[in-house]
Amino acid sequence: MKTIITVVALGLLSSVAAAGVAAAATPAEIAAGEKLATTTDQGNCDACHMFKGADEAGNIGPELKDVKSMVPNRKEFYAIIYDEEARNPQTIMPAFGKNQVLTPKQINEVIDFMYTK
Amino acid sequence: MRLAFIALALTVSAPLAQAASQPDPAADMKAFQGYFLKQFPKLPLAAYVNGPYNFSKSESDQWKQIMEFPPYQFAVDDGKKLFETKFPDGKTYASCFPNGGIGIAQNYPMFDAKTGKVVTLGIAINRCRVANGQKKLKLTVGPLADISAYMTSTSDGKPINVVIPHNPKALAAYEAGKEYFYTRRGQLNFSCASCHVQAAGMHLRGDVLSPALGLTAAFPLYRSSWGDMGTLVRRFIGCNQKVKSEPSKPDSTAYRDLAYFMTYMDNGLPESGPGARP
């Protein structure tokens, strides 16, 4: 019983923390995320995904719009960018975190930016 | 128009089924060609030699314009001169090839039973030079690409006809090439198939990804983004670099085997090099 309570409490804490991060996204973080998402040898998201403001975007992955309802859970979004192969071994979306293309901080900035789309 | 292409592209789903344990190149080829014919039912087999132009109206319009003055014509003309120039020993390239080198490009890469290795057209040209006391040329660009362009132009429209003899080393080379094609590599962890099978016909940023079928048929080719001619190995190196993987050496066994597998998959398609791409 006691353990369960702790787990629940922890869970609550982390979701509060995650929400806190989202709420705290500064214009600077969002701008950093945009740069990463559109820079060829970094996030390069627009090579495969269309999103508003992307220039010459590809169409290998789904269009990223209304991203908050597409991936409402920030942790899940982080996991998709960190290593989409874990969810879908066949995917061609690169594992940006696992393969050290993006740092955790950079992944969070990309998320901050994408949540404005 | 773009929408129609997207719809076509979206029907591509799983990559090709992987090998059975016993090498069976003929069955692989049938499955490989069948896969694409099913994915893009409107595209006839021979059209695959036109790569990206099948999927983008704007690019195919551009292509028609480019082809009024084919940018590879200089290479064909220069290549012909080089091909016909005598080596110091008085012989020419013609002495090294069946039929004097005319109308035979569609048979390469070839398995050489003597060395147990795959020989691409470029490597055969270099072998000829060495046999006549000359230095090897670069396999990626320059005079060798020009000579290949001329030789390939004399095979225009002939069906690609790569042979895999019943020789364990030839089969092993074929299998190694196939494995290379389907193995993920580089920091971005892509295989050749990730882009040219799974995402065939889709847009990677501004580029339409050509289907794996037909990929070798128009080489050597002039690429506007290169600004000159390049051979198939030049493209291998470029695609390896795209995914941040270490390219192999132009004359490596890895690239010979890869070319052997890929060109064998194109058997029956019309030889259509030299080509031009955006």
Please indicate, yes or no, whether residues B39 and B93 belong to a single structural domain of this protein.
no
Does B266 lie in the same domain as B197?
A: yes
The pLDDT of residue B4 is: 31
Q: List the structure tokens of B158.
A: 């002939």
Percent of chain B with pLDDT over 90: 85
The single-letter code of the amino acid at B211 is: P
- Looking at chain A, the number of H-run helices and the number of E-run strands are 5, 0
Same domain, B61 and B81: no
Q: What is the ipTM of this complex?
A: 0.85
Q: What's the DSSP call for residue B190?
A: B
Q: In whole angstroms, what is the distance from residue B180 CA to residue B16 CA? A: 14
Q: Give tens-digit pLDDT for A24-65.
A: 799 999 999 999 999 988 999 999 999 999 988 999 999 999
- For residues B108 and B180, membership in a common domain is answered with no
Same domain, B97 and B120: yes
Q: Which fold has domain A24-114?
A: Cytochrome Bc1 Complex; Chain D, domain 2 (1.10.760)
| Residue B239 bears catalytic tag | yes
Residue B147 falls inside a structural domain: yes
Residues B113 and B181 grouped into a single domain: no
Instruction: Give pLDDT tens digits for B63-85.
Output: 888 888 899 999 999 999 999 99
My answer on whether B260 and B145 are in the same domain is: no
Beta bridge partners of B222: B229, B276
Among A84, A92, A100, pick the best mutation site for testing chain B contact (most B Cβ within 10 A). Answer: A92
Chain B residue nearest residue A46, CA to CA: B205
C-alpha B80/C-alpha A18 separation (Å) is 67
SS3 helix, strand, coil % of chain B, rounded to 5?
50, 10, 45
B15 neighbourhood in chain A, CB within 8 Å: 90
d(CA B274, CA B67): 12
**Cβ B145 vs Cβ B231: under 8 Å:** yes
The pLDDT, as a whole number, for residue A23 is 58
Q: What is the pLDDT of residue B45?
A: 97
- ∠ CA A115-B4-B6, nearest 5°, is 40
* Residues in A touching B18 (Cβ below 8 Å): none
Collapsing DSSP to helix, strand or coil, A89 comes out as coil
Rg (CA), chain B: 18
Residues B65 and B88 in one domain: no
Taking residue A88's Cβ as centre, other Cβ atoms within 10 Å add up to 10
**Of the residues B99, B121, B153, the one at which a domain ends:** B153
Tell if the CB–CB gap between A58 and B189 is shorter than 8 Å: no
Tell me, yes or no, whether B139 lies in a domain: yes
Say whether B189 and A94 touch across the interface (CB within 8 A). yes
Residue B159 domain-assigned (yes or no)? no
> Is residue B158, in this structure, part of any structural domain at all?
no
User: Does residue B241 lie in a domain region?
Assistant: yes
What are the sequence ranges of the domains in chain A? 24-114
Compute the nearest-CA separation of A92 from chain B (Å).
Answer: 6
Q: Which domain does B190 fall in, by range?
A: 2-70+165-277
Contacts 24+ apart (CB under 8 A), A78-87: A78/A107, A78/A108, A78/A111, A81/A107, A81/A110, A81/A111, A82/A107, A85/B189
From B153, B174, B207, the end of a domain falls on: B153
> Which residues of chain A lie closer than 8 angstroms to B199, CB-CB?
60, 92
The domain boundary, picked from B100, B125, B153, lies at: B153
Confidence of residue B56 (pLDDT cuts 50, 70, 90): confident
Is the preceding peptide bond at B274 cis, omega within 30 degrees of 0? yes
B196 belongs to a structural domain: yes
Q: Does residue B230 lie in a domain region?
A: yes
CATH number, position B222: 1.10.760.10
Structure tokens at B267: 């058997």
- Please tell me whether residues B181 and B133 are part of one structural domain: no
Assess whether B177 and B117 both reside in one domain: no
Same domain, B191 and B252: yes
Structural domain count of chain B: 2
Residue A59 CB coordination number (10 Å): 20
Q: Do A100 and B187 touch (CB under 8 A)?
A: yes
Q: Indicate whether B35 belongs to any domain.
A: yes
Question: What is the value of pTM for the model shown?
Answer: 0.89
Q: Are residues B130 and B200 in the same domain?
A: no
Residues constituting chain B: 278
| Catalytic residue (one of B96, B192, B195, B239) | B239
